[in-house]
Each structure stands twice: as structure tokens, then as C-alpha cells.
Amino acid sequence: LEGLPLGGYLAVACLLAGGVLLLPALAAVLAHLLPRGGPVSARLAAARLSAAPGHAVVAAAGVLTSVALAVAMAIMVASFRDSVDQWLGQILPADLYVRAGRASGSGHLDEALQARIAALPGVGRVDFIRHDTLRLIAGQPPVALIARPVAADGSDLPLVARAGAAGTLPRIWISEALQDLRGWQPGQQVDLPLAGRRVSVAVAGVWRDYARQTGAVMMDLADYRRLTGDRLANDGAVHLAPGARADDVADALASLAGPGALEIARPGEIRAISLRIFDRSFAVTYLLEAVAVVIGLAGVAASFAALAAARRREFGMLRHLGLTRRQIGAMLAREGALAAGVGVLGGMLVGGAIGLVLIEVVNRQSFHWSMDLHVPWLSLLLFGTGLVALAAVAAVLAGRQAMGQSAVLAVREDW
């Protein structure tokens, strides 16, 4: 609605609320599965979870919320980064990339310079690329036009959909953003404004593009030149001949047209720069995840501090029965771990569901990007285990005062 994925946001809120409401049932199931043997502290902690799962829910609710949000963001960012990495590998298949530099004046590679680049020793093939813009609708942002050599079936593009049998019309491949914004579908015939006239073309497929949110049209370079007569190029993807060294060819390219006339880059450098920008852009999400975890731990500490203060007589009775402070501390640690475990388990499940909503709904509707699901299992396992351990420590620290000598004296109040 109005460009906002309100349904996705509502789904996230409902998943969080539903996860919190289902915590008592999850705690009861976990308590039923716990072994009944082991040390006294372990048996007491398991018995308390079975008898009063609501107490664990109070502490676990904050943990579930923080874990769910952190897990959802981790899954979304990992999926996005992995998809961008794969996408870069698909759109950067050449060994070297050359572009008209600022010192070239026109910013284009003319036919003569293209021929000289292709004729350099060590160059096997050069795929030249022409960039332009198309204004499909007056008053709307222009759409990027990319003309480059494309396989007949578009198999060298990161396709997400393709048309059936090809017709006689020139073919184009549109980005997901353009499909969403214009509603074009594979196999559909559309008109493009090329060289001052409307040209009928067929949509041969939809490809994944993380660079242009306003949409992009990909066309085979031969078709573009035939339709427009434009022989210029902006970039060139250089494929090396067998046995050629990238450094030697790069040096020859740099000296071909004078200082600064050409900019040369390797695909590894472009990928590294792109991923570094990506990581810098999403660095704030890691900070938000850390804040969410701290809030969850603070909830565990506050809940156990309040419960421990109310259980001073219980601790005193346990001391009279022969338990040491160490054993009571171990019992509190297990109770904190169990409460956090319930929250972490529920948070992982809810966070996975929210992550799917972020990937399939929120990002798709907000940015017109699709991505493949990638779950960082090891990172999430370490995260969950570490959070349970920290919750156990927080529970012990919160109950230290209630385990002191005053707990023993508090039993007198019942005599």
C-alpha cells in the first residue's frame, strides 16, 4: 500500500506475538523432555520448569523477541550477501574490464579504439558494452539500457524467469524491478523508444539486478547497433587468450590510449569493493542485533533478580536441608539456561519465519530484489549457545544476594 509492504510488517508483528503466546506450551514440552536424573540442582531446575513454566516464560519472552529479530536480520543479510556474491560472479565473467576514463574526453570507446583493444596481443575476445537510458513514461525516472553480447537463450544472465520459443522480434531481458514497476511478463511484446522511434521487442526473460532499483533493460549489442546505428561503447569485458597474463594485457591496455584514457579493473577487485560496500552498509544491523541481545539478557537478569528476591525463604530452606550456596547457584544457572533455552528455541523458529517474510515479501516489495535463502547455521548455533550461557551467568549474578546468609535467617520468619 502506497509503496510500503504493510502486509509484511503486519506478518512480522503477528509472528512475534504468536511466538510469545506459544511460549508456555513450548516450555511445557521442553520440561517434559528433560531427564529426571542427574545432580540435585539439575533435578530441582527441571522440577521448577515443570511446575511453574510461567516463571520461565516471563524471562523467555524478552529473549524470544531479541533472538527472533537478530536471527531474522542475520538470515536476511546472509541471504542477501550470498546472492550478491553469486550475482557478481555471473555478471563479471571476463578476466579484465576496461572503461573510458575521464581523460578520454567523450567518455566513450569509439570504433577505432575498440578495434585496437581487440587487436592487442593476449586478448582473445572483447565483449563491448553500451549504456544508455530510456524514459518509458513521462515524469517517471528513466530506465537503464544495457547493450552487450547476450546468449540467444539468455543463459549467461542471472535469469529468474524466461519465455518459451523465440519469435522474430528483437529480444530484451528486463530486471525484476522493471517487471514489478511496469508489469511486463516473459513472452510479452512491448515498445521501446530507441533512436527517436518506437521499436517493438519481445521480453525474453527476467534477470536479477542488484544495481538499479528503477529498472533495467538488457539487449544484445548486435540488435542494439542494428536498430540504432550507435557504434560507441562505454565498457569492454576482456577475455584473455590462452597463456596470456592479465598483468601484461592490463599494462598494454593502459598504454594504448594515453594516461588516464582507460580505466582497467579485475573482476576480483570489483567484487571485493562491492562486498566491502555491502558489509559497510549493513554494519548497523549487527549493532542493532547486539542491542537486541543485551535487552534480552537484561530481561533475564531483571526477571531472575525479582524471582530470587521472592524466593529467599526457599533458598534458606534448601540451605537447611544441606544444599550449599554452590549447589543453589548451579540450580539458578540451570534455571536461567532453561528459561533462555526456551526463548532461544522459540526465537530461532520465529526468527526463521520472519526472515522468510523479509526475504520474500518486504525486500521484494520495497526494493524489487529477489534472493536465494542462505541460513548461517554455524553462526546461529554459536549465537544461541552463547546466549544461553550468558543467561545462566546473569541468573546466578542476579540471585547472589538472595542466596546469602539472609536467606537462612529468613526461614525464622516461618517459625
Q: Quick one: pLDDT at residue 52?
A: 67
Give the span between the Cα atoms of 114 and 122, in whole angstroms: 15
- For the CA atoms of 207, 212, 218, 222, what is the dihedral angle to 10 degrees? -140
The residue-averaged pLDDT of 237-243 equals: 94
Give the span between the Cα atoms of 260 and 263, in whole angstroms: 7
Q: What confidence tier does 415 reach under pLDDT thresholds 50, 70, 90? A: low
- Among 3-7, 24-28, 280-284, 394-398, where is mean pLDDT lowest? 394-398
Q: What is the mean pLDDT of the chain?
A: 86
Higher-confidence position of 284 and 223: 223
- Burial code of 143-160, b = ≥16 C-beta within 10 A, e = fewer? bbbbbbebeeebeebbbe
- Among 32-41, 130-139, 326-335, 406-415, where is mean pLDDT lowest? 406-415
- Cα distances from 109 to residues 124, 137, 144, 231, 233, in angstroms, run 18, 30, 19, 9, 5
Q: Which residue has the cell 563491448?
A: 128
Q: Quick one: pLDDT at residue 146?
A: 96
Give the span between the Cα atoms of 332 and 313, in whole angstroms: 15
Q: What is the pLDDT of residues 150-198, one digit of tens each?
A: 998 899 999 999 987 767 899 999 999 999 989 999 999 999 999 889 9
Q: Quick one: pLDDT at residue 358?
A: 95
Higher-confidence position of 221 and 333: 221
Q: At residue 403, does pLDDT exceed 70?
A: no
Q: At residue 235, does pLDDT exceed 80?
A: yes
Q: At residue 104, does pLDDT exceed 70?
A: no
Higher-confidence position of 3 and 55: 3
- Other Cβ atoms less than 10 A from the Cβ of 141: the count is 14
- Among 231-235, 248-252, 321-325, 354-358, where is mean pLDDT lowest? 321-325
